[in-house]
A and B are shown apart, each in its own frame.
Chain A
Amino acid sequence: MKSELKVTSGARGKNPDPAMGRIGVYFLHSGEDASAAKDLQNLADYASQLPGVSMVRTLAASTGLDPEALALVFRQAGLSAVVLASEHPGFFKPAFSRALALAGGNGDQVHLASFGERGDATSPDRTKAVLAAAVQGIPFTLPPEPAPGTFFNTATMVIGGGVAGIQASLEIAESGHKVYLVERTGTIGGRMAMFDKTFPTLDCAACILTPKMVAVGQNKNIELLVLSEVQEVTGSLGAFNVKVLKHATRVDASACVACGDCARFCPVTVASEFDMGIATRKGIFIPFPQAVPNAYMIDPAYCTWVQSGGKKCGACAKKCSKDAVHLDAKDEVVSLEVGNIIVATGYDTLDATRLPRYGYGTYPNVLTSLEFERLTNASGPTGGKIVMKTKRQNKKTKADEWVFEPDGPKPKAVAIIHCVGSRDRNYNPYCSRVCCMYSLKFAHLVREKLPEAKCYEYYIDMRAFGKGYEEFHERIREEGVSLVRGRTATVKEIDSQLYIHGEDVIAEHLINVPVDMVILSVGLQPSHGSAELAEKLHVPMDSDGWFRELNYNSEPNSTGRDGIYVAGVCQGPKDIPDTVAQASAAAAEALRSIVGSRNKEDRNTVPQDAWEQTTVSPQRS
Chain B
Amino acid sequence: MALRVNPDLIDELELFGAKDVAKCYQCGNCSAACSHSDDPYVFPRKSMRYLQMGLEKPLRSALDPWLCYYCGKCSDQCPRGAEPGETMMGVRRWLTAQYDFTGLSRMLYRSWSSELTAVLGVALLTGAGFSIFGFFFGGGNLSVYDGPGAFLPAHAIHVFDWTMGAILGLLLLINCLRMWHFTMRNEHSVPVPASMYLHFLPLLPLHFFTQKRFRHCENKTPWANHLALVLSYLTMLVLIMVFLKYMQAGPQINWYVHVFGYLSAVGLVATSIFAIRGRLKRDAAYHRHSHESDWMFLGLLLFVTVTGILQHILHRAGLPMAANIIYIVHLMGVVPMLGLEVPFSKWSHLAYRPLAIYFSQLQQAAQAEKTTNLVTLQPRA
Contacts and interface: CB of A to CB of B under 8 A. Distances in A.
Asked if chains A and B are in direct contact (CB within 8 A), the reply is yes
A511 B32 CA distance: 8
The 9 lowest CB-CB distance pairs between A and B, nearest first, are A489-B32, A503-B28, A424-B79, A487-B27, A486-B28, A503-B31, A505-B28, A502-B32, A489-B33
B26 interface: yes
Contacts of A423: 25, 79
B25 A460 contact: yes
Nearest to A512: B32
Interface residues of B, number: 19
B32 A490 contact: yes
Contact of B33 (A424, A490, A511): A490
B77 A489 contact: yes
A125 interface: no
Contact of B32 (A419, A426, A503, A508): A503
B283 interface: no
B80 interface: yes
Interface in A452-511: 460, 485-490, 501-505, 508-511
A38 interface: no
12 contacts: A423-B79, A426-B79, A485-B28, A486-B32, A487-B29, A489-B33, A490-B32, A490-B33, A502-B28, A503-B31, A510-B38, A510-B42
Nearest to A484: B28
Contacts of B26: 505
A487 B45 CA distance: 12
B194 to A, nearest CB: 30
B174 to A, nearest CB: 33
A78 to B, nearest CB: 36
Contacts of A509: 39-40, 42
Contact of B45 (A357, A460, A490, A505): A505
A425 interface: yes
A426 to B, nearest CB: 7
Contacts of B27: 419, 460, 486-487, 505
A508 B79 contact: no
Interface of A: 357, 419, 423-426, 460, 485-490, 501-505, 508-511
B46 interface: yes
Contacts of A488: 29, 32
B205 interface: no
Given A487-B29, A487-B79, A488-B29, 5 more contacts: A425-B80, A502-B28, A504-B28, A505-B26, A505-B28
A504 B25 CA distance: 14
B212 to A, nearest CB: 22
A503 B42 contact: yes
A485 B27 CA distance: 8
Q: Which of B32, B37, B79, B81 has the most CB of A within 10 A?
A: B32
Interface in B40-62: 40, 42, 45-46
B217 to A, nearest CB: 15
B32 A510 contact: yes
A485 B37 CA distance: 18
A419 B37 CA distance: 23
Nearest to A505: B28
Contacts of B79: 423-426, 487
Given A425-B79, A426-B79, A460-B25, A510 B31 contact: yes
A427 to B, nearest CB: 8
B77 A503 contact: no
B29 A489 contact: yes
B263 to A, nearest CB: 40
A614 to B, nearest CB: 65
Contacts of B29: 487-489, 502-503
B249 to A, nearest CB: 56
A501 B35 CA distance: 11
B38 A503 contact: no
Nearest to A461: B25
B39 A510 contact: yes
B28 A487 contact: yes
Contacts of A504: 28
Contacts of A508: 42, 46
Contacts of B33: 489-490
